Structure 1
Amino acid sequence: MTLAEATRVGAGTAPADPVLSVEGLTVSVATETGLRPLVRGISFALRRGETLAIAGESGSGKSITSLAVMGLLPANVRATAGAVRLAGTDLLRLPETRMRAIRGDRIAMIFQEPMTSLNPVMTVGAQLVEAIQAHEPLPRREAQGRALEALKAVRLSEPERRLRQFPHELSGGMRQRVMIAMAIALRPDVLIADEPTTALDVTVQREVLDLLRDLRSEMGTAIVLITHDMGVVAEMADRVIVMKDGAVVEEGPVAQIFGAPAKDYTKALLAAVPRMGQRALTDPAAQRPPVCTLRDLTVRFDIAHGLLGRTTHRVHAVEGVSLQIQAGETFALVGESGCGKSTIAKTIAGLVPFEGEIDLAGHRLRGQSDVTRAVRRDAQIVFQDPAAALDPRMRVGDLVAEPLVIHGIGTKEERRATVERLFERVGLTRAQIDRYPHEFSGGQRQRICIARALALRPKLIVADESVSALDVSVQARVLQLLKELKEDTGVAFLFISHDMAVVDSIADRVAVMFLGQIMEMGTRAQVFGDPRHPYTRRLIEAVPIPDPGHVRPSRPRMAAETPSPVRRVGDPPERLRLVDVGGGHLVAEQPGRSDPF
């Protein structure tokens, strides 16, 4: 029987006996003072065709639990109590040789970042064949056929060609599909998905979730879904376990957890989830003077090929974008990875060459050479990963004061006083100024980055995916901080994100981008309340709804790949014209040819 045929075998009625049961699992780490528990007494049972979601914030013990089940704990971490039974066999008592035979065969795992899970120097086909032959003594040709069937089962376009490609040639969503194909190629009883959609765009996330749902119903695979996204939990789970600080806070059917949570922590977690439409659709504020204006902004990167290094192709990252950001407003740029959002952020910060014009706080810029120190003072940027943006060898007070030092502002005592005020402004204390970045949580580090961006009193702050890596409750606090700063200081924000629900909760005006061009632009009420472009509607429809009772309307799956921004020299993309459909609501004219929406 082929894999495609196997996936059509119905799950049937779930048997009484669980396929996987975890009983009083305690996992501890060895420290200088002895064993310290990371997970304490967790228990659950999983039946065939069932999805169990383990939800909680970073550090709650979700991933450690999954690694213990897989037998993949780090060397200094071990299970100190309890049992993990797969169809009656205690996996914690098995030697590594036997566990290796079970891992991937009867119980498989999909990790959060597919690029780090795939070998960059092996083709996709070679890696799939290797995984299959490691567990089944099949001839190479038969293993290749099984690999092809696995790629077809996860609905990857052009599966024959994908077998010959390397991981870097695939998009993030495609790589995640390859990981799922690798996991299901051996038809495991249990599939553990550890944050499988966290790093993916909302539309790719939708495709992966639909795929997992199909695999569960067609193969009867039991799924353990580990996530901090409560919208994903609501859509996928039959039962939910909520974890905090290594222990179970609450568990029950998904409808009960969302409809009548018993514990305060669960209530707070659900309350912090951004929801589309939660904020009232209000009329736009009065017109204010512009802080930043882009006119026909174009950014292209040449690609050289051949022995002579001639430029044969170009990346059309941004293609003729014009927009205006007003004083004291939050202007959001949304779209999928590769649409040009972050390139615009880097262009405003003077980090990449460009064509066109940028008016920034009274400075007219016609090229990267015009971005002077004075210009940079008026536009500051907050990056996605605060840990990478802060020098681990410097005290955080010195990091916040560094822009003042660079621009020669104030004496040492005056800079110290400014840093103290900024720390208080972003909700930190003066006592924390002399600490190092590693002594702070992710949310606190992002507050430090915001304090540093405020040090020069800029007219514009570019927040590039500044909350996407944060837990939902921390994200809510940082978003509230940005709102307060806008109201108190009058600073304008360019808020860049692929999360439509987050944008809906904070933006005044919105521009939707695709392949370097704007598809739709207007006030938040116009874009979210009356989306006109099919791409905007597709993004909004893909947002997970944190309501188990929500019935998502069916729509055709995307059969084609997203077009590439890389084009041959002399073959630029067609420039789309924006049409005003009323009240400054601009929508791109749709080309006559077929599009990927």
Structure 2
Amino acid sequence: MPFIDVKRLSVHDPVQQSHLVANITFSLHRQRCLAVIGESGSGKSTIAKTLIGLISPSLKVDGEIIFDGEKLTTQTVKGWRGKRIGFISQDAMNAFNPIETIGHQMIETFHQHLGLRGKEGELHAIAGLESVHLKNPYQLMKTYPYELSGGMLQRVMIAITMMLSPDVIIADEPTASLDAYNRREVIMQLQRMKEETGAALIVISHDLGVVQAIADELLVMHQGVMLEHGSAAKIFTSPQHPQTKHLLETRLRLSKPLEALRQQNRMEAAPC
């Protein structure tokens, strides 16, 4: 039985009289990763926000979202967000309160969702920071969000999600604006979450390198419509829809100069 079962999901904007996404259907089992790809404005983030219950109340949502055998409603998803449904935002800087320390925000989150207090919550936070290989966790707990880089904040967000051990993790552009090293680190942490917690993972991304590294299944979006859905390996090697072929060819062509530069840098850095 699928852990997540989405049936005929549509999101309609009554003001603009348009569908943001239309008739989206897919299912996902535990310890599997579904990547959702498509051009900007294709509806990728709308799907993520709908699943996590962060869609604007002005929009009309139709269809069904079955989560662990239970139909999601506005109230149930609010109750499950954080503990059972983890969300990693693409905008790490704005995901944190700028006037509270990182440690305070982590401990408050663990108190709210896990009931941990005081020293117990602090130790849980430190263990999370260590799990994503952030140095000097005690000192890091005392810092404010603006004192950390986007990559570090992204890893803090992943640490919080990991320590909550959710059943499903939704990551919206988790590697956006990160350098090559931090992208690799984030991919490794997402893989670890899937393998160690048994979570189902949904990754929204335009980065085909990330998608190829982590996805078991692929859902291709275009102008709010699902073009293809199936094995990631099969779609990458034998895309069926012309728009999918165009998307993959364009992304891979754009990434070739960067990959060539990376290879050159590796060769120059290699010891003689």
Query: Residue 21 of structure 2 corresponds to which residue in structure 1?
Result: 39
Query: Residue 66 of structure 2 corresponds to which residue in structure 1?
Result: 85
Is residue 2:199 matched to residue 1:199? no
**Following TM superposition, by how much is the alpha carbon of 1:530 offset from its aligned partner in structure 2, in angstroms?**
8.1
Q: Deviations over 1:551-589 (max 9, x none)?
A: xxxxxxxxxxxxxxxxxxxxxxxxxxxxxx9xxxxxxxx
Is residue 2:49 matched to residue 1:71? no
Percent of paired sites with the same residue: 37
SS at match of 1:180: helix
Instruction: Kindly indicate whether the alpha-carbon contact (under 8 Å) linking 2:107 and 2:117 is maintained by their aligned counterparts in 1.
Output: no
Q: Distance in 2 between matches of 1:227 and 1:252?
A: 16
SS at match of 2:204: strand
Query: Residue 19 of structure 1 corresponds to which residue in structure 2?
Result: 3
Query: Residue 128 of structure 1 corresponds to which residue in structure 2?
Result: 106
Any residues of structure 2 matched to 1:307-386 within 5 Å, and which? none
Instruction: Kindly indicate whether the alpha-carbon contact (under 8 Å) linking 1:54 and 1:240 is maintained by their aligned counterparts in 2.
Output: yes
Quick one: which amino acid aligns to residue 89 of structure 1? Answer: E
Query: Which protein, 1 or 2, shows the higher relative CO under an 8 Å CA cutoff with sep ≥ 6?
Result: 2
* Bigger share in helix: 2
2:163 pairs, out of 146, 169, 185, with 185
Change (3 A) 1:139 1:61: same
Is residue 2:269 matched to residue 1:533? yes
Q: Distance in 1 between matches of 2:144 and 2:257?
A: 34
Quick one: which amino acid aligns to residue 6 of structure 2? Answer: V
Any residues of structure 2 matched to 1:63-462 within 5 Å, and which? 63-79=45-61, 81-91=62-72, 93-95=73-75, 98-274=76-252
Quick one: which amino acid aligns to residue 186 of structure 2? Answer: V
Q: Distance in 1 between matches of 2:219 and 2:266?
A: 37
Quick one: which amino acid aligns to residue 24 of structure 1? Answer: R
Instruction: Kindly indicate whether the alpha-carbon contact (under 8 Å) linking 1:107 and 1:191 is maintained by their aligned counterparts in 2.
Output: yes
Q: Distance in 1 between matches of 2:88 and 2:257?
A: 26
Q: Distance in 2 between matches of 1:104 and 1:148?
A: 18
* TM superposition score normalised by structure 2: 0.93
Change (3 A) 1:152 1:36: same
Quick one: which amino acid aligns to residue 23 of structure 1? Answer: K
Q: Distance in 2 between matches of 1:157 and 1:87?
A: 37
Quick one: which amino acid aligns to residue 234 of structure 1? Answer: Q
Instruction: Kindly indicate whether the alpha-carbon contact (under 8 Å) linking 2:53 and 2:74 is maintained by their aligned counterparts in 1.
Output: no
Q: Which structure's CA Rg is the greater one?
A: 1
Is residue 2:29 matched to residue 1:29? no
Quick one: which amino acid aligns to residue 267 of structure 2? Answer: P
Q: Distance in 1 between matches of 2:40 and 2:115?
A: 40
Q: Deviations over 1:258-312 (max 9, x none)?
A: 111111111111111246xxxxxxxxxxxxxxxxxxxxxxxxxxxxxxxxxxxxx
Q: Distance in 2 between matches of 1:99 and 1:18?
A: 18
Q: Distance in 1 between matches of 2:5 and 2:120?
A: 34
SS at match of 1:31: coil
Q: Distance in 2 between matches of 1:189 and 1:150?
A: 17
Quick one: which amino acid aligns to residue 45 of structure 1? Answer: S
Instruction: Kindly indicate whether the alpha-carbon contact (under 8 Å) linking 1:113 and 1:199 is maintained by their aligned counterparts in 2.
Output: no
Structure 1 runs not aligned, ≥5 long: 1-16, 276-475, 477-498, 513-526, 538-580, 582-597
Q: Distance in 2 between matches of 1:204 and 1:528?
A: 19
Q: Distance in 1 between matches of 2:259 and 2:112?
A: 48
Q: Distance in 2 between matches of 1:155 and 1:530?
A: 23
Instruction: Kindly indicate whether the alpha-carbon contact (under 8 Å) linking 2:92 and 2:153 is maintained by their aligned counterparts in 1.
Output: yes
Q: Distance in 1 between matches of 2:74 and 2:147?
A: 38
SS at match of 1:164: coil
Instruction: Kindly indicate whether the alpha-carbon contact (under 8 Å) linking 2:158 and 2:189 is maintained by their aligned counterparts in 1.
Output: no
Q: Distance in 2 between matches of 1:532 and 1:137?
A: 51
Q: Distance in 2 between matches of 1:529 and 1:206?
A: 16
**Following TM superposition, by how much is the alpha carbon of 1:239 offset from its aligned partner in structure 2, in angstroms?**
0.5
SS at match of 2:56: coil
SS at match of 2:164: coil
SS at match of 1:72: coil
Instruction: Kindly indicate whether the alpha-carbon contact (under 8 Å) linking 1:274 and 1:502 is maintained by their aligned counterparts in 2.
Output: no
* TM superposition score normalised by structure 1: 0.43
Q: Distance in 1 between matches of 2:100 and 2:163?
A: 18
Q: Distance in 1 between matches of 2:65 and 2:224?
A: 17
SS at match of 1:531: helix
SS at match of 1:135: helix
**Following TM superposition, by how much is the alpha carbon of 1:30 offset from its aligned partner in structure 2, in angstroms?**
2.3
Query: Residue 40 of structure 2 corresponds to which residue in structure 1?
Result: 58
Change (3 A) 1:265 1:131: same
Instruction: Kindly indicate whether the alpha-carbon contact (under 8 Å) linking 2:36 and 2:202 is maintained by their aligned counterparts in 1.
Output: yes
Structure 2 runs not aligned, ≥5 long: none
**Following TM superposition, by how much is the alpha carbon of 1:183 offset from its aligned partner in structure 2, in angstroms?**
1.7
Q: Distance in 2 between matches of 1:206 and 1:56?
A: 21
Instruction: Kindly indicate whether the alpha-carbon contact (under 8 Å) linking 1:101 and 1:135 is maintained by their aligned counterparts in 2.
Output: no
**Following TM superposition, by how much is the alpha carbon of 1:214 offset from its aligned partner in structure 2, in angstroms?**
1.7
Q: Distance in 1 between matches of 2:47 and 2:266?
A: 44
Q: Distance in 1 between matches of 2:14 and 2:163?
A: 36
Change (3 A) 1:274 1:94: closer
**Following TM superposition, by how much is the alpha carbon of 1:529 offset from its aligned partner in structure 2, in angstroms?**
8.8
**Following TM superposition, by how much is the alpha carbon of 1:144 offset from its aligned partner in structure 2, in angstroms?**
1.7
Q: Distance in 2 between matches of 1:530 and 1:102?
A: 44
